[in-house]
Amino acid sequence: MVEEVIVARGLTKVFNRNLVAVDHVSFSVKHGEIFGFLGPNGAGKTTTINMLITVLRPTEGTATVLGYDVVKQANEVRRVIGVVPQEYTADEDLTGYENIILCADLYGIPREVSKKRAVELLELVELTGFKDKKVETYSGGMRRRLELACGLVNRPRVLFLDEPTLGLDVQTRAATWNYIERLKEEYDMTIFMTTHYLEEADTLCDRIAIIDYGKIIVTGDPEELKHSLGGDIITISVKEDADISDLIRSVENVKEVRNENGSYRIKVESGEVTAPLVIEALRRNGYTVTRLSLTEPTLNEVYLEYTGRSMRDTEESKEAFRSQRLTIRRARAR
Amino acid sequence: MSRANEYHPSLLRGLWALTVRELKKWLNDPVMLLMLVIQPLIWMGLLGKSMNLGAMFSASNLGNIEVPEKIPIPGNYVTPPANGIIYVSGIMVSQIIQQMVSDIGGNVMRNVFGVTDYFSYMSIGMISMIVMTTTMFSGMSIVWDRRLGFLDKVLSTPVPRGAIIFSKVLNATLRAMLQATIILALATIFGLQLSQSFTLLNMFGVYAAIFLLSVGLSSVFLAFSLRSTKLERPMQFVSLITMPLMFASNTLFPITLMPGWLQAVAYVNPLSYMTDALRQLTILTLDVSKLITDFIYLGFFAAVLSSIGIMLSWRYLSK
Ligand SMILES: Nc1ncnc2c1ncn2[C@@H]1O[C@H](COP(=O)(O)OP(=O)(O)OP(=O)(O)O)[C@@H](O)[C@H]1O
Ligand SMILES: [Mg+2]
């Protein structure tokens, strides 16, 4: 058994000779792992997946899946992977069942086998009741589940999930995570997924890589990354309009201070111990504390730490993007 | 546990699966099927029956020519009649003229169009037109597949790339064939006169000709649509070239009556060859040597264009 299931070395994709979508990315994914790519819009997540699933040819660098080169042995790779794309790609004019059978046909799976699998998979993603309905009548969550079922029809050893919960409501999202974890156990798969939901990366992934502007900024398991920030974060605001960074820095155990539009982000070893000290120091110097919060680091802090931007900022445009994609799809349906 | 590796996708399996997908899209769609019937009906009604060239020569068009009841024939007669003038019955003269015009008309029609009624001539031309437009538009659906991500998903499966391309070509061709059958049937109901030599066997020839033109045209359009990033481009291109292709061919009017430069275009236009092949097989008295020429040209056209088209698409799909 290959221990390193996916290996990427200096993987690069340049579009139109000047847009570097993925910039010398290197990482490896171990057997049985859920590996997550976390990054904002346009970070290069989908482009990376497309190179790994042999749909795009890398401009530079190499990648292997289960030891097969994604360029030279593309066909071998295609046979052992399953893909759940970011968009809803099922054929609207066919039923859910017909879609799964079509996928199976593309893998050359005999009908006796694929018919059984289709029923099983529809059961698994709870679409049995809708199996003979055309996909155009499906809701977003149902479509997502159907994509999942299609991606599993060849019993893949490596599953690629591109934003598997994009645009789903919180409930459906949680249910989808459930499926993914169950599937992974049931089929003994290695999973490569992309996401821009931090909590998704946090709960689901064994290891993540934060990617921004086509580059991997940091790789590690979520806990490890949070710990690497070294403790807790205190956010504090004062009434006065002066820069108090240096004052805070002089307090014992304060590791780092960042002024973010008048609110100060303070990295400390232990929030409970240091917060009173900071307040005390400020009061002694005549400042009035108006607001204080104490957070244990989340991936958002990790993200902020490494990219200098908040992940949350990107969420709104994401939704706009999704609705645009839906519009394109609808336009066709007319 | 059973694993992915045990199955191998074959070209035929993949081709069949993808083609069935395409066919389901329109065969299960009653509105679409209705359109397949209505479109030729409208065209036939408007073009075939309104531009009834044969009727121009029909005797009824002479009805308003005034012919006097008696036509005097003056002259120096050896034995002059009583009043010095011979009269011919006007009705007889009128009948003779009408008969002659009708004969001339028939001859002109036969010499120009090969048949005496323009409706038959033009119905077959219409099959060509519809085959052409259907084929061009069908290839374009790949643009949607690409936009909606379906193409990427298919590309991530081990299905042979050729199956993806051929399924589109095959779909276009099958659709064109069905339409041709519908038109021929409808036209026969509305007065198309099949030649004496027509047998059902000729239909195989008809399908073969349609197949060759469709394969050639659709593979080129497929490549073109794949490579253009905008959906509008191939659409514009189709509307730009369909009219010229149609008029610079024997689809509606015989080549021999065209000005020289237009004849030159019409003689390289594959549409002319398919239309002629179809007419030879259905309404004309079969001229085997002409039919062979038609098929050689169509075969050549199909081979060259589909090689180019398929090569270009292949390169695109495996980039
Ligand atoms: N086919 C293409 N041609 C040109 N540029 C492209 C193409 N595909 C992607 N890009 C560009 O590459 C960059 C990375 O895109 P990519 O789709 O990989 O981002 P992503 O991380 O998946 O974003 P999202 O979260 O929006 O899905 C973007 O700037 C995008 O505009
Ligand atoms: Mg993406």
CATH class of A4-226: alpha beta
A195 touching B (Cβ < 8 Å): no
Structure confidence by residue, pLDDT tens digits, A244-256: 888 888 888 888 8
**Integer Cα distance of B121 and B279 in angstroms:** 8
Ligand 2 center to residue B221 CA distance, Å? 30
**Integer Cα distance of B319 and B317 in angstroms:** 6
Global pTM reads 0.79
Please, what is the average pLDDT of chain A?
Answer: 85
Which tokens sit at B54? 């044969």
DSSP assignment letter at A134: B
pLDDT for the residue A80: 93
pLDDT at A299 over 80: no
ipTM over 0.90: no
CATH 3.30.200.20 assigned to domain A230-296? The reply is no
The residues whose Cβ lies within 5 A of ligand 2, an ion, are: A 45-46, 86
Cβ atoms B148, B202 nearer than 8 A: no
**Integer Cα distance of B13 and A108 in angstroms:** 7
**Fold match between domain A4-226 and domain A230-296:** no
- In the structure, which protein residues have their CB atom closer than 6 angstroms to any atom of ligand 1? A 15-16, 19, 21, 39, 41-47, 86, 196, 321
pLDDT for the residue B57: 62
Residues A157, B4: C-beta atoms closer than 8 Å: yes
Q: Give residue A170's pLDDT band: very low, low, confident or very high (50, 70, 90).
A: confident
**What is the residue with the minimal CA distance to atom 6 of ligand 1?**
A15
Interface test with B, best of A2, A79, A80, A146 (most B CBs within 10 A): A79
**Integer Cα distance of B129 and B223 in angstroms:** 21
B158 touching A (Cβ < 8 Å): yes
**Minimal CA separation from A188 to chain B, in Å:** 10
Q: Give residue B53's pLDDT band: very low, low, confident or very high (50, 70, 90).
A: low
**Integer Cα distance of A320 and B294 in angstroms:** 56
For residue A103, the chain B residues in CB contact (below 8 A) are 157
Cβ atoms B223, B316 nearer than 8 A: yes
Residues B157, A103: C-beta atoms closer than 8 Å: yes
Map out the domains of chain A as residue ranges.
4-226, 230-296
Structure confidence by residue, pLDDT tens digits, B101-155: 777 777 777 777 777 677 888 888 888 988 888 888 777 788 888 888 899 899 9
Structure confidence by residue, pLDDT tens digits, A73-104: 999 999 999 999 988 899 988 999 999 999 99
For residue A157, the chain B residues in CB contact (below 8 A) are 3-4
B204 touching A (Cβ < 8 Å): no
Determine the average pLDDT of the residues in A190-215: 89
Long-range interactions of B250-257: CB distance < 8 A, separation 24+? B250/B125, B250/B275, B250/B276, B251/B125, B251/B126, B251/B128, B251/B129, B251/B275, B252/B47, B252/B122, B252/B125, B254/B112, B254/B113, B256/B112, B257/B112
What percent of chain B stands above pLDDT 90? 20
Q: What phi-psi label fits residue B241: left (phi over 0), alpha (psi between -120 and 50 degrees) or beta?
A: alpha
Atom from ligand 1 closest to the CA of residue A43: 21
CA nearest to A79 within chain B: B158
Q: Which residues pair with A36 in a beta bridge?
A: A193, A208
**Minimal CA separation from B172 to chain A, in Å:** 18
CA nearest to A102 within chain B: B17
For residue B161, the chain A residues in CB contact (below 8 A) are none
Considering only CB atoms, B158 lies closest to which of A75, A89, A150, namely A75
Q: Give residue B319's pLDDT band: very low, low, confident or very high (50, 70, 90).
A: low
**Minimal CA separation from B211 to chain A, in Å:** 25
**Integer Cα distance of B210 and B197 in angstroms:** 20
- The closest of B182, B176, B246, B242 to B209, measured between CA atoms, is B176
Cβ atoms B9, A114 nearer than 8 A: no
**Integer Cα distance of A247 and A259 in angstroms:** 12
Residues A85, B147: C-beta atoms closer than 8 Å: no
- For A45-84, b/e burial (b = at least 16 CB within 10 A) is bbbbbbbbbbbbebeebbbbbbebebeebbbbbbbbbbbb
Residue with tokens 């008696």: B70
